[in-house]
Structures are given as structure tokens and as C-alpha cells.
Structure 1
Amino acid sequence: MKKHKTRHHVLVGLFFVLIAFTSCKDGKKDTKEVATVEKVVPENLKWSERMVLSEMLRFPKPSLLDFRTSPKWSYTPGLVLSAFSKVYEQTNNKKYYDYIYAYADELIDSTGAIETYKLENQNLDMIKSGDVLLYLYPKTKEERFLKAMQTLDNQMESQPKTSDGGYWHKKIYPHQMWLDGLYMAEPFHARYARDYIEDEAKKQKIYNDVVLQFDLIQKHSRDEKSGLLYHGWDESKEQKWANKETGNSQHFWSRGMGWYGMSMVDVLDFLPENHPGRERIITYLNQFAEATTNVQDETGLWWQVLNQGNREGNYLEATGTAMFTYTFAKGVRKGYLDKKYLDVAEKAYAGLLENLITVEENGVVNLNKCCGVAGLGGNPYRDGSYEYYINEMIRSNDPKGTGPFILASLELNK
């Protein structure tokens, strides 16, 4: 009896071992199935297209780029969708074009009025998305897009200026020029003049105004010792952030310098070869390249506050790095910069891929360590201190980084 009972126990034991073994095998099988995640962004594409597809997945509506909850005419779609247009021109993938078109289609009504835009704000940031219209109008010939561009040109005509002719960044920031403003407005203004202004005298006046902005920012914002440019300049010297003698803000902000670099290589696309200001801008670009290279980190990246790499709280920042990469790569390709700067761009790009790009299991590409926002003045007041710049929001996939990353990837053909 005892013997039989023992045999029974052995059989039961074997039965459970068999079940455990089978379920363990099944478990392995399940794990394998879970690991095989569908790639919504194919990894055999170039980085530019991978980022385009990733952005479209993150923001199915282009009017919600920049983590918006409601559509707004703003500068970030202008930046990102301009990058998309270059990818579309290379790939001819119609869904990229449709995505660009959807932004203008939603924000420009049938009369050509721009939704959420107010001319009386005189905000240079609002000019940037005009680049989308400059791209779409020749293809669509939709009158509403032309009218919207004319509205933006009218803003440039009425934009308040400093005493020597520099555009105020916004009406709410009187007497102030910011580095950001040159990228927001000047490439649009120069291209619009070239393609849509028929009166030759008016065209030349716009070109002269465009060049003047670069002359003035060099005059007022460039630090002679380092060659770097301060983020903002207040002619009135009344702002708390402004140096009482020079009117400059206190620090060299990575993305501010990035905006400036991109503005130079982009505006040269539209400024006539024989314009006397062209050579000056190329000179400024070369000074910029030298100064910026001097503060590049050994990783290839650049710091949030450019010249204070080792200071506590500072970090290697994605948006400025992507902008510099694009500026140097394009500057070399166009013949404005010495070929040595291509090595700087390649090193920066490798640094981005190694340190700041991550790829999810489904293939979606992320750009990490982006400064979300930074400005001067306003309410709550931004004092332009070191502590201010390092404590602003840091996030992944900020369009002010993904757009330049796409542009840099295209320039380097990665």
C-alpha cells in the first residue's frame, strides 16, 4: 500500500514537472512574440526620413506640433515643415507633402486670413511659418496662400524698429533685438522680395533692410573677446536683464546662437549674388563658425550656456547642437565656410547619434535633452541669468531640435 502511494506521488510529480516545462516553453515563445514589435518607422531609411515619420506619429496633426492642445499659427511648424519639404523633394512620398499642406489648409481660411494671427502684435516669430506658404503657393496657386504671405510682408513693413533700423523682436518687447528674430523673419523676407516684389526699388530696399539686421546684431550683440553673440540687446537699457552700459543680456545661449547661424546660411539662398551685403554676411558666418567651434565639447555637442561647460547645472543641449551641425554642413556645401568645418559638423552629428538620439522598439526616433523654451523679460519675468537658462524645461522631441536634426541629416546625407 505504501509502495503504491509512493508511485502515485512520483507520477503526480512528473505530471507537474511536464506542465511546468511545457508552460516554460510557452512562456519563452510568448516572450519572443512580445519582443517582435512591429517597426512603424523602418530602420533602413535615412535619419532624416526616420525623424519625419516619428514626428508624424507623435503629432498626427501638424497644427499640434510643439505639443500644442489647439491649433496655432506659430514659428515651430514653419521650421519643421520646411525640413519636411526638403525630405519630400528627395523622396517624393506624397504623405509628407499632404502633412505640410494640412497645416496651411487648416490655418489659412478661404479669404487668406491667418487663424490665431494678430498683425497688431508685431511679433517676428509669426513670420517663420510664411516659409510654408512660400513653398506651397507655387505648387497650388491658391490665392488664399498668396494673400496670407502679403499679410506677413505687411507686418515686416510696419514692424517697429530701433533708432538705427533694427526690428523689435515683438511689440511687447520694445527696443529689443534678439538673435532668434533674424531666423524668424529674414529668410522669409528676402525670399518673398525675390519672388513676389516686382518694383525693383522696393525689392532692393527689402534686401538692404535684411542685411542691416545682420549688420546691427553684429554691432550690438557680438562679444569681441570670444566672438560669441549675446541672446538679446535692449537699446533702451531699461530691462533688468540688460547690461546698463551695453544693453546686452548676460549669456551666450546655445539655441540663440543656433538661430543666428541658420539665419545666415538660409538668407544667403535668396540674397542676390551682386548685393554688397552678401560678402559681409559670409564674413559674419566665418567669425561665427570660429567662435562656436572654440566652445564645442569633446563629445561633439554644445552646452546650453555655451562658454560655461564645466559649471554646475549646465548640460549638453540638443537643439543648439543640431542647429550648429546644419549651419556648418550647409556653409561648407555652399562654399561659404572652409572644408575643415565639415569635420566639426560630422563630429557634432556623431555626438548627437551617440548621446542624444534613442530609438524605441517600434523604430520611433527620439531626440533627447532639448531646451523647451527660453526668452527674456515677459511675465513671469525671465532675467537671463545662468540659473534661468539651465532651469528652463528640458524635454525630448522639441520641434526646435527635430526640425534642425532633419535638416542636418539631409546636409550630411546620413
Structure 2
Amino acid sequence: MHTTILPKPPLPAGLALALCCALLTACGPDGKAVPRESGQWPEGRSPREVGGRVVETFLSNPFRIHKASGMIHYVETCTWQGALRFAKQTGDPALTERLVRRFDPLFGEQAHYISKPLNVDTTVFGSVPLELYMRTGDKRFLKIGLDLADAQWTTPADQSKLDDTAREAVTRGLSWHTRFWIDDMYMITMLQTQAYRATGDNKYLDRAALEAVAYLDKLQQPNGLFHHAPDAPFFWGRGNGWFAAGMSELLRALPAGHPNRARIMAGYQKMMATLLRHQDAEGKWHQLIDDSSSWQESSCTGMFTYAFATGVKHGWLDAATYGPAARKGWLALAGWINPDGAIRDVCEGTNALNDRNHYLNRGRVTGDLHGQAPVIWCANALME
């Protein structure tokens, strides 16, 4: 088993101390970091406690299957991968084993649930077996993951079945899955970045970076936020959350000298500055980010908090400014979670549509994995 994740340089002492105090308020009188689980969070709201509860809720349920495709739903993928990282962060080999064993039915009677590379939503599934390969060294996982990652850039022989956007994308070296919806930025980025981490092959990282720049150029607006799609000019919360999380994942992997890193970092930092201005007094964000009268939505709050915490931990964002905002976002998020580990006020699945009321009137769901996954991601970032 091996992984090629680039080593992270140590933070300068001053930044590390600022991060500790601003993000975690977990510095002792001598300036040294106090363990995160030592009572520095309100009772029941530490990342370890909350993350563990949500992971157990995930494990207690069967696979989430997409009704239309009959394959594993992308939110199952996003939650599963986050849970695997949580097990690593907490040093829990028993939990890791349970998460590995969750895949067992897919090698047997439930193999038909394994996703096929139809689009971004089905193909992102490959990121889970790639994570499992990095933990176990089992090459069955590697094959499933790489087959999906490579299929995302293997254009079908019959291009007449592609729409105009996809055909143009292929001529630019982009994936034939390109459709310029903001959700895609996480789905494509995560799979290709995972393939890079599992193999060390730079082609996967280059693909993800090229795609990110194309989406930045197409969808990011002067205020730093993103329209849901070119024909859906609204700053939908979770859609922007997918983009924030996707850039965070990619920047963690991109080396300093990569030719597209500066462009992606500029887009990320511009977005974070605007998100900071739109975080409300409770630490939450809203269904439409720029409309404070729209309802407070938990999944985007989780995704933006994850992006803030990741940026502070890696030194991309000012710790004194964004650290308190990340902490505030986490506490707001934790307050949304029921005792059974289900999170409330999650926007239901939402297609792009040029209709403001389409976004304002979306249903609010409790316990949906769209909301559970970002909670686990946040817990991981805060414990990193």
C-alpha cells in the first residue's frame, strides 16, 4: 500500500499559534496546543463527538441508491469517503475495518450497484475504492477507481450522443462529462485528485486543475460567487458549497509550482472573502447566499465551514480572520444535528433552473446525506 499525497510543510510558529487560538480556542497558558477533545468545545459539540455520531448514523443505514440510475448515489460516495478519513484522523482501525467491509457486498450480490461512467454524479463513486486502495493495498479497489477516472476522459466513439457543451469541452482537453454546473467542480475534482493520490501520476492532477480553471472562467462572477449554471444565474448555497469544497480538495494536492495553482488559489480566496461577508450572526449561510431573507441551509453551511477550516489549516486564509468564522460555522452546524446524528434543514436535490422561486421553495430534509457528508468533512478539517 502506498500514497503519494505531498507532505505539508510545517506552519510557522506564529501562524500555528494564531490558528490554534483563533480556530480552536485550544491554547494552554504556555501557548502550546491543548488536545481538541479536552473540553475546549461546548459539551457534545467537539468534532470528534459530532463526527463520530454522524459516521455511526451513516454506517447504520443501507447504501443510498439513486432511483433513476439504480447505482450508488453520489452522496453515499461523499459521506463514505469522509467517514474513511474520519477513521484515519481519530486513529480508529476498527472503524476503518467496518468502512472497508461495507464494500464487501459490491464484490458479490450487489455488484450491480457499482456506478458506471455515465456522468459526473455516477462516476465520482470511483473516489471511494481509490481511498480504500490507499488504506488496504487491495488492487481490486484500484482497478475500479482508475477505470472510472480514466473513463471520464475517454470520449465515447460516437460523439453524436454528446451535447454541444460536451463536444466543445473535448476539443479543449476537458472531460466529456463537462456541463458547467457548479456541482461538477467537486465531482470531477475529487475523482481525479484521488486517482493522483493513489498512483502519483500527474495526469490526473493536471486533468482536475484544467477542469477547475475552465469552471472558474465560466461560472465565477465578479463578487467571487458562482452561478449554478450559465442559464441559472443564482447563487445557490449548496451548489457554491460543492465548488468551495472541490477547490479545497484540489489545492491540498496541487504542488506550489503547478501552472494552474495560482489561478485556482485566486478564485478560491476571492470566493472565501465574499462568503465571509455573507455568514450571518449565527454562523450560518442561506439557501441563496446573497439573500439573507432566504432560509438558513445546513449543507452549504457545512461546506463553507469546511473550506474555511481547510484554508486556515493550510495557511491559505488569515487565521485571525477566518479561524473564528470557521469555529462559529461549526458550532452552528453542530446545533442543527439531532441526537440520532441526523442533520436538519438540508436542501433537497436541486437541478439548475432559471427561476428564483425554484431555489427559494426547495424542500427542507432531515437526515439526508447531502447534509451528513459536510459535517464529517468539517470534523476532519478541524481535527487535522
Same fold (TM over 0.5): yes
Q: TM-score, normalised on structure 2? A: 0.76
Alignment of 1:115-130 (within 5 A): 115-119=113-117, 121=118, 123-130=119-126
Provide closer, same or farther for how the CA distance between residues 302 and 128 of structure 1 changes in structure 2, counting only shifts above 3 A. Answer: same
Query: Equivalent residue for 2:251?
Result: 268
CA contact (8 A) 2:82 2:376 kept: yes
> Match of 2:342, SS?
strand
Aligned-pair Cα RMSD in Å: 3.0
Q: Distance in 2 between matches of 1:326 and 1:166?
A: 30
Alpha-carbon deviation of 1:396?
1.2
1:341 lines up with 2:338 in the alignment: no
Q: Which has the higher contact order (CA 8 A, sep 6+)?
A: 2
Query: Equivalent residue for 1:350?
Result: 331
Amino acid of the structure 2 residue aligned with 1:274: G
**How many residues were matched structurally?**
330
Q: Distance in 2 between matches of 1:391 and 1:81?
A: 29
Alpha-carbon deviation of 1:352?
2.5
The equivalent position to 1:386 in structure 2, one of 350, 356, 366, is 356
Over residues 378-409 of structure 1, what are the superposed CA-to-partner deviations in whole Å (9 max), with x where a residue is unaligned? xxxxx342211122221112212211112212
The equivalent position to 1:191 in structure 2, one of 189, 194, 200, is 194
Over residues 121-166 of structure 1, what are the superposed CA-to-partner deviations in whole Å (9 max), with x where a residue is unaligned? 2x11123232221221133333321221122122222256352538
> Larger Cα Rg: Structure 1 or Structure 2?
1
Provide closer, same or farther for how the CA distance between residues 184 and 53 of structure 1 changes in structure 2, counting only shifts above 3 A. Answer: same
Provide closer, same or farther for how the CA distance between residues 191 and 353 of structure 1 changes in structure 2, counting only shifts above 3 A. Answer: closer
The equivalent position to 2:305 in structure 1, one of 298, 320, 325, is 325
Q: Distance in 2 between matches of 1:132 and 1:61?
A: 17
Alpha-carbon deviation of 1:288?
0.7
Give 5+ residue unaligned stretches, structure 1: 1-42, 234-241, 243-248, 377-382
Alpha-carbon deviation of 1:114?
6.3
Provide closer, same or farther for how the CA distance between residues 147 and 337 of structure 1 changes in structure 2, counting only shifts above 3 A. Answer: same
Q: Distance in 2 between matches of 1:267 and 1:283?
A: 13
Alpha-carbon deviation of 1:106?
2.2
Amino acid of the structure 1 residue aligned with 2:101: A
Provide closer, same or farther for how the CA distance between residues 366 and 88 of structure 1 changes in structure 2, counting only shifts above 3 A. Answer: same
CA contact (8 A) 1:124 1:169 kept: no
CA contact (8 A) 2:309 2:378 kept: yes
1:395 lines up with 2:376 in the alignment: no
Amino acid of the structure 1 residue aligned with 2:332: G
The equivalent position to 2:235 in structure 1, one of 238, 247, 252, is 252
Alpha-carbon deviation of 1:374?
0.7
Alpha-carbon deviation of 1:197?
6.1
CA contact (8 A) 2:47 2:382 kept: no
Provide closer, same or farther for how the CA distance between residues 350 and 128 of structure 1 changes in structure 2, counting only shifts above 3 A. Answer: same
1:180 lines up with 2:183 in the alignment: yes
Q: Distance in 1 between matches of 2:176 and 2:289?
A: 22
Provide closer, same or farther for how the CA distance between residues 47 and 191 of structure 1 changes in structure 2, counting only shifts above 3 A. Answer: closer
Over residues 318-358 of structure 1, what are the superposed CA-to-partner deviations in whole Å (9 max), with x where a residue is unaligned? 0000000010011110111122111221222232234x233
Q: Distance in 2 between matches of 1:286 and 1:117?
A: 34
Give 5+ residue unaligned stretches, structure 2: 1-42, 156-161
Q: TM-score, normalised on structure 1? A: 0.71
> Match of 1:303, SS?
coil
Query: Equivalent residue for 1:368?
Result: 344
> Match of 2:292, SS?
coil
Amino acid of the structure 2 residue aligned with 1:77: E
Q: Distance in 2 between matches of 1:330 and 1:148?
A: 29
> Match of 1:273, SS?
coil
Amino acid of the structure 2 residue aligned with 1:357: I
Alignment of 1:127-276 (within 5 A): 127-158=123-154, 161=166, 163-164=168-169, 165=172, 176-196=179-199, 203-204=202-203, 206-224=204-222, 226-233=223-230, 242=231, 249-276=232-259
